[in-house]
Structure 1
Amino acid sequence: MLPPPNNFNRPQHPTQTAEVKQAPVIRYTFLLIGLSLTVYILHKLDAILLPIAFSAVFTLLLLPICRWLEAHKVPRVLAIVLCLLLLLIIFAGIILGFGSQLTQFRDELPKLQVKLMEFFTSAQDWAHDKFGYQPMSIEELKDSTVKALKKSGTTYLGTTLNTTTDVLSNLAQVLIYIFCFLYYRDHLRQFMFRFVAPDKRTTVLNTVDSIQTVVQAYITGLVKVIIIVSILNGIGLVALGVKFAIFFAIFASVLAIIPYIGIMIGAALPAIVTLVETGSPLQALAVIGVFVVVQFLEGNFITPMITGSSVSINPLAAILALILGAALWGTPGMILSIPLTAILKVVFDAYKPLEPFGFLLGDVADGEDNQTKKKQAEAEIRPWYRRLWHMVGK
């Protein structure tokens, strides 16, 4: 009978391979390579990704309306069609209202140019009398302007034609994508669950619902803020008798989502036009005062009242997002930069390993009680007028 084998002297062969730890340099190198490839792909596939990104944002806006219609026994296909018709009607109204003002502004440009030249001449004479500044002749200014226009005129014409064609084709793509996202939303959710273990699907479902709720609240709140700020700007500019008040009000309200910079750009153009039209610096200062007051109300009352504190992006992150969006996708990238940054912040806050990045994007006021504020925002859902009453009561 053979003796039992000596297992102590036999070399061990574990069935599981030990985890190989990578050096931080290697890990961060692969991370940088992945980020570089992602940016390259996003830039090269902008014609494909931009319509999808816009469609995703509009889908989040239309999803509550679509669900409400389906809850009232409207078939899903009909509910989606009604949502798309509502979206087209809103855009048509904006284009008609904004476009008519823009057409009038374009027709008035020659008159404004003449008045601007007169104002420029008087300003140069004043500077020459006070500081000895050598004035530039009107002929030199016109020659330089005409040369610049001739140099870039062909490029602008070709860009305008291409942009018009792209807008029409992208609009059709966006409508098709929105229909597909709304119709196949349950299928897409099941597709996502295929990557998650069955015991973790409930947690993932709750996280996804939380992200969707917060993002919808932020984007719809942002649209409400733009509408309210447009109305307030319009009232102030109409009261001051500013030309093209509706155009400037909408233009400035859209720019108001850019912290600090947006209010300066939005107020500069109507102030200059008012100064050229009236020749009164006090009238121009009054126009700037309207935008400053509205911006104060927007930052301290309107935005906190409507969007709440569930998602707040600090000004530095917003400005960097606008710059990166413009560098990556141009003007559409600037439009999408703030909503996409808000979505990223919500995702970062929901995923524990990425939570520091969500804290970095958040406002300084969030601080250490960010989680408490977020739980309160999720638990307490009140209409904006009740939140206003609560704020006034305090």
Structure 2
Amino acid sequence: MTTITQQLSVVKRANPFLLFLLLFFGALYLGSSFLIPLAIAVLISLALVSVSQWLEQNGLNRGLSSFLAVLLVFLFFVGVFSLVTYQISSLADNWEQTKQQVTKTLENIKSYLDQSGISTQWMSERLDKISESSSADVKNMVSATFTTLGKFFLILIYTYLLLYYRDKFKRFIQKLTPKNATRETNEVITQVSKIARAYISGKFLLIIILAVLYGVGFIVIGIKYALVIAVIAGVLSIIPYFGNIIGGGLALLFALITSSSLNSVIGVAIVMTIAQLLENYVLTPLIVGKKVDLNPFFTIIVVVLGGAVWGIPGTVVAVPYLGILRILFDHTNSLKPYAYLMGDNSDDDSSSIESAKEWIEEKVS
């Protein structure tokens, strides 16, 4: 009887938590059209705080410094958008020639698969769709990108307002906490701002460097539309783990269907491999480092969960927000174990390794 009572007690305690999770993720999903631009704007504004502060220290007022900081972001995205649009428009103008090359490549692959005894029904369906397509389809894809401009400008407006009223938001958070916790509250605000600024600015710099590396490599190889492939692959790297895989796969696929030479595909694979090695072992440790301090297990979980709820934007913002959540947990006594569980405690591992090395050296000597 006691055991049944204890089990019912556990179920009763778990029900509110499960209900909270259901309502939380349901609200995120249903309110995505409103929350996604706001969530992105919060991260961008945190990354631009230092820029706005520097401009204010040089004599500009809050409104003008916030406007110029947002203008930098606007010019960056306009440059990327213009480059991609120009390349895609060129692809649309030469679509008939490109379509013939794609069809020829897929037919060769289909022939090889038929000889190997592998089903090619899916390949046949793709060939039929390609033969029915036209340059108008590609141009429609270009025009469809303009539908995102509304949300883009909304993000810029949110970012400007968050920068302009940042002191008010900071005082609001301070008023929510007890007076004896003001010092710790300020420390949390500083850490949250620092982690968002370091992660977002570091990722943007990585995107630029990777896009340049990809672009130079693809141009040397002689890949058609090298710049647009390089930019897309570079932008996709903002998605942890999966972005590089998707970007590399798209680059290889594009090289395969637009080039008649296998050397081009091998060249793309070599460029992607070299760039990824540089990113993983040189660029990321130097530029981003351990800014969010999350272990890979929780990073992958939150990226998959963010993608399931918000799609691609969810995969982008999930990691920095989880890093912010870990900071909040770390400053709450009852939640510190969860912060430890989410963190990348490599320091503990390295200290254990060092202790083991010292023990072995002592025994050997």
Tell me the TM-score normalised to structure 2 length. 0.81
Report whether the alignment pairs 1:358 with 2:339. Answer: yes
Superposition deviation, residue 137 in structure 1: 12
- Call closer, same or farther: CA 1:349–1:303 in 2, change over 3 Å: farther
Match of 1:123 in 2: 109
Superposition deviation, residue 30 in structure 1:
1.0
Q: Please list the CA deviations of residues 87-139 of structure 1 after superposition, one character each: whole Å capped at 9, or x if unmatched.
A: 2222211211222122223434432321222223333334445x356877998
Q: 2:117 & 2:28 partners in 1: Cα distance?
A: 53
Counterparts of 1:259 and 1:217 in 2: how far apart (Å)? Answer: 15
Say if 1:352 and 1:240 are closer, same or farther in 2 by CA, change over 3 A. Answer: farther
Amino acid at match of 2:191: S
What is aligned with 1:114? Answer: 100
| Consecutive unaligned residues in structure 2, runs of 5 or more | 1-7, 352-365
1:194-227 superposed Cα distances (whole Å, 9 cap, x missing partner): 2222111112112221221122112211111111
Partner of 2:268: 287
Report if the CA contact (8 A) 2:240-2:303 is conserved. no
Hey, what does 2:57 align to over in structure 1? 71
1:104 aligns with 2:90: yes
| Structure 2 residue identity aligned to 1:330 | G
Name the counterpart of 2:36.
50
Once the two structures are TM-superposed, the CA of residue 59 in structure 1 deviates from its matched residue by: 0.5
Q: 2:359 maps to which residue?
A: none
| Superimposed CA distance per residue, residues 338-382 of structure 1 (whole angstroms, 9 cap, x where no aligned partner) | 332333333334444333433444446454579xxxxxxxxxxxx
| Greater helix content | 2
Residue in 1 aligned with 2:5? none
Find out whether 1:187 has 2:172 as its counterpart. no
Q: Distance in 2 between matches of 1:207 and 1:199?
A: 14
Q: What secondary structure does 1:81 align onto?
A: helix
Contact 1:77/1:183 (8 A) holds in 2: yes
Q: Residue 67 of structure 1: CA displacement?
A: 0.5
Secondary structure of the residue that 2:176 maps to in structure 1?
Answer: coil
Unaligned runs of 5+ in 1: 1-21, 371-394
Equivalent pairs counted in the alignment come to 341
Q: Do the aligned partners of residues 329 and 262 (structure 1) sit closer, same or farther apart at CA in structure 2, a change above 3 Å counting?
A: closer
Match of 2:226 among 238, 241, 245: 245
Amino acid in the other structure paired with 1:63: V
Contact 1:256-1:295 within 8 A present in 2 as well: no
Give CA-to-partner distance per residue, 1:317-337, whole Å, 9 cap, x none. 333333322221233323323
Q: From 5, 8, 16, give the equivalent of 1:30.
A: 16
- The share of aligned pairs that are identical, in percent, is 28
| Cα distance, 1:56 vs structure 2 | 0.4
Q: Are 2:191 and 1:198 equivalent residues in the alignment?
A: no
> Match of 1:93?
79
* Paired residues of 1:215 and 1:346 also in contact (CA < 8 A): no
| Contact kept in structure 1, 2:103 and 2:130, CA below 8 Å | no
Q: Is structure 2 residue 206 aligned with structure 1 residue 220?
A: no
Relative to the length of structure 1, the TM-score reads: 0.76
Name the CA distance, whole Å, in 2 between partners of 1:38 and 1:123. Answer: 47
Root mean square deviation of aligned Cα: 3.3
Q: Please identify the structure whose Cα radius of gyration is greater.
A: 1
Distance 1:351 1:99, change over 3 A: farther
Letter in 1 for 2:266: L
Which amino acid is 2:68 matched to?
Answer: L
Pick closer, same or farther for the CA change 1:237–1:313 going to 2, 3 Å: farther
CA distance in 1 between partners of 2:77 and 2:38 (Å): 18
Opposite residue 117 of structure 1, the aligned amino acid is T
After superposition, the Cα gap between the structure-2 partners of 1:352 and 1:216, relative to the gap in structure 1 and judged at 3 Å, is farther
Q: Residues of 2 paired with 1:260 and 1:228: CA distance?
A: 18
